[in-house]
Amino acid sequence: MATNADWQARREAAVPRGVSTMHPRFIERARNAEMWDVEGKRYIDFASGIAVLNTGHNHPRVIDAVKRQMDAFSHTSFQVNPYKPYVELAERLNAISPTGQPSKTIFVTTGAEAVENAVKIARAHTKRKAIIAFKGGFHGRTMMGMALTGKVQPYKAGFGPFPGDVWHVPFPIAYHGVSEAMSLDALDSLFKADVDPADVAAIILEPVQGEGGFYQAPARFLQSLRSLCDMHGMLLIADEIQSGFARTGRMFGIEHSGVRPDLITIAKSMAGGFAIAGVTGRADIMDAANPGGLGGTYGGPPMACAAGLAVLDVIEEEGLCARADAIGTEIKERLEGLKRQNSLDCIGDVRGPGAMIALELVKGGNADAPDPDLTRQLVLDCADDGLILLSCGIRGNVIRFLCPLTIGDALLDEGLDILTRNLTRLAG
């Protein structure tokens, strides 16, 4: 039997090193929140393929929908011969979109492609060029995606120059001393010194930063951005690629603020592991592009559209928004209890809405002293112990919790026990 090491050697010979792999464990099968590698070792999945599997691995409803579509046809290209699942999924997303009514939706293939199209649509609608993004934000690995991303390593290093007319301001993070007022002052300074707001097409941000460290934008700050956009004729784009589809306890992360964005970008958990992404927005804005200006050969593939419809059914029927809140409460209570009971001053901050939870690790309780080495070792040791975790953050010191929302209580507790055991050992 070929081992993980055997497959890793083949992977290194066949795949370029630019495609990094956090856990060199080759998965052979998976179900809900569990995975088994080629050596038969079982893992609890707290990563969900980077927030893709809110409905878990191989949810029966999703698999059944895909099989039915496969029996019918796999591809025509919507731009050649359209098909019902594309329209049906667009209709359902339009109906629940936080952008308000009426809305329209376009489907593409990846989250980065969704971001690219959101920028295109915003520029077509406003007839303006500039885009404002935030430090720590992540918006993809395409050229525009990298330009918008506010994190150099490893995403932007060596790949420039990037598209122009992209500006960054600080994201409000109270834990690191960046207040809402400071972020808004930075925007005001940007408008005075670098770019006329009359030239800005849109402001884009993640309601909860993903790769940047799971920092949630305060509701009042989002409300201020909405007012600024309305004042200057700019659009507000919510990047919901990682925070969407019940992950935060709401269908979309921005719903916690009561703010209506003009456009949202969606992907990841939209189709339970099948590749699809999209942009949903106000109908008048979405119609700004001319026929042929939007699309792609594989945009909105039939099987992924069918999966997306099943995912929406599962979220509603299994109450996954409420389940996300319950999961998040359990994780936070365990982590806060661990900090109190064991005096682990490496636990700097525990945060996040719903089941989009972060554990920030520092030295001596000091927010200004990140501990990326402890973070890295904890991820590795937990994997050896049967728990798959992901790290994130500009400083590389954040553990992000992204378990499937369909995980059972016993499995959730088992995973948290593994985390507790390894963190206590490493930090003790």
What are the tens digits of pLDDT across the range 192-201? 999 999 999 9
Q: What pLDDT, on a 0 to 100 scale, did the predictor assign at position 96? A: 98
Which tokens go with 346?
């490496």
- What's the rounded Cα separation, in Å, for the pair 358 and 139? 19
pLDDT grade, residue 341 (50/70/90)? confident
Q: CA 15, CA 398: separation in Å to the nearest integer?
A: 28
Per-residue pLDDT reduced to its tens digit, 94-106: 999 999 989 999 9
DSSP notation for 30-97: EEBTEEEETT--EEEESSHHHHT-TT-BT-HHHHHHHHHHHHH-S---TTTS--HHHHHHHHHHHHH-
User: 369: how many CB neighbours lie within 10 A of its CB?
Assistant: 12
pLDDT digit string, tens, across residues 42-84: 999 999 999 999 999 999 999 999 999 999 999 999 999 999 9
**DSSP H or E stretch at residue 357:** strand 357-363
How confident is the model over 303-329, as pLDDT tens digits?
999 999 999 999 999 999 999 999 999
For the domain made up of 4-58+319-427, give the CATH fold: Aspartate Aminotransferase, domain 1 (3.90.1150)
Residue range 60-317, CATH number? 3.40.640.10
User: Rounded to a whole number, what is the largest CA-CA distance in the chain?
Assistant: 65
| Residue-wise pLDDT tens digits, 250-274 | 999 999 999 999 999 999 999 999 9
Pairing of strands 200-205, 34-37: unpaired
Which residues neighbour 284 within 8 Å (Cβ) at sequence distance 6 or greater? 125
- Work out the average pLDDT over 135-160: 95
Dihedral sign of CA atoms 182, 185, 191, 193 in order: negative
Residue 276 Cα distances to 67, 245, 264, angstroms: 17, 13, 14
Domain boundaries, the chain: 4-58+319-427, 60-317
Residue 423 and residue 428: Cα distance in Å, rounded? 8
With cut-offs at 50, 70 and 90, classify the pLDDT of residue 343.
confident
**Residue 428 in this model has a pLDDT that exceeds 90:** no
* pLDDT reported for residue 1: 79
Contact 411, 42 (CB under 8 A): no
Q: Which two tokens stand for residue 348?
A: 């700097």
Per-residue pLDDT band at 176 (split at 50, 70, 90): very high
Query: What single-letter DSSP state applies at residue 174?
Result: G
